[in-house]
Structure 1
């Protein structure tokens, strides 16, 4: 079985979601199904069918999270000794050489990538270009719109 890297923060968030699904959402939906059953004929009971569909979605998400957690390798970047290099879990500030714009990304696992929160997958083109580089290095990222030159301004292991 192939293990997938994940930050401790990402694994903790999945564990919290799993607990909420099992301890709050699952009992709530079971109660909703029982209540809808009391309304009589199940064939024409929209509340019952909606609750059963919701139950299916919850159970599927529980299985998905348990599967993910079963095959992750949790990497705590604060405990690594990367010698100033960009590694999985690092938070990297880069400067777009052409536009002079700075942006900060954290390199995370595939399942926890979230561009809205500047968390990029270790498999993304920019992360692949940054891995093993150091502060001051310039990297070229092959983007659909063309090559983008970045300079690594800062690397943090937080």
Structure 2
């Protein structure tokens, strides 16, 4: 069974735009690089040709990856969710075990949209899994490499 990629409509649109760009404009650019590199002579000692072919391989790999994601994408309706529980699309403010509110409100998203360095976490991450379905005031335990850590949900925003 194949993976299901849960994401917002905005993220789906971004991926479709990227795929279109790669299949048209970027593909033409790489083909031109290969054509120019062939003109430099012997292909066995032509580093420009090798680099262009490597770039073509990366391009084809990314196109295949995007096609796989888009084929199995599930767009989430963020408005049809439980309003008082943590779900994908909401922002969650939590406090640590000592009651100190963490400075970042975490946004819960699908795996294709996560950016942990900016407080955007995947529902599939340990922290995201622990938060899913909780309500304000509930405490969750997250299994981290350094051990279990407890957090209390302080605020849920849509």
Normalization by structure 1: what TM-score? 0.87
The two structures, once aligned, show a CA RMSD in angstroms of 1.8
Number of equivalenced pairs: 156
Deviations, residues 87-123 of structure 1 (Å, cap 9, x unaligned): 1222212122327141322222223322112222212
Quick one: structure 1 residues 141 and 118, their matched pair in 2 at CA, closer, same or farther if it must change by over 3 Å?
A: same
| 1:39 aligned residue | 40
Alignment of 1:47-62 (within 5 A): 47-62=48-63
Matches of 1:45 and 1:109, distance apart in 2: 43
Are residues 1:96 and 2:100 paired?
Answer: no
Contact 1:140 1:150 in 2 (8 A): yes
Q: After superposing the two structures, state which structure 1 stretch, 123-132 or 104-113, moved more.
A: 104-113
Contact 1:98 1:149 in 2 (8 A): no
Deviations, residues 25-50 of structure 1 (Å, cap 9, x unaligned): 21111111111112222221111111
* Unpaired runs of at least 5, structure 2: none
* Unpaired runs of at least 5, structure 1: none
Deviations, residues 28-81 of structure 1 (Å, cap 9, x unaligned): 11111111112222221111111011011001100101111100111131x223
Alignment of 1:9-48 (within 5 A): 9-48=10-49
Matches of 2:95 and 2:7, distance apart in 1: 26
Contact 2:6 2:112 in 1 (8 A): no
Alignment of 1:121-140 (within 5 A): 121-140=122-141
| 1:73 aligned residue | 74
Matches of 1:137 and 1:72, distance apart in 2: 31
Matches of 1:155 and 1:13, distance apart in 2: 26
Matches of 1:23 and 1:84, distance apart in 2: 44
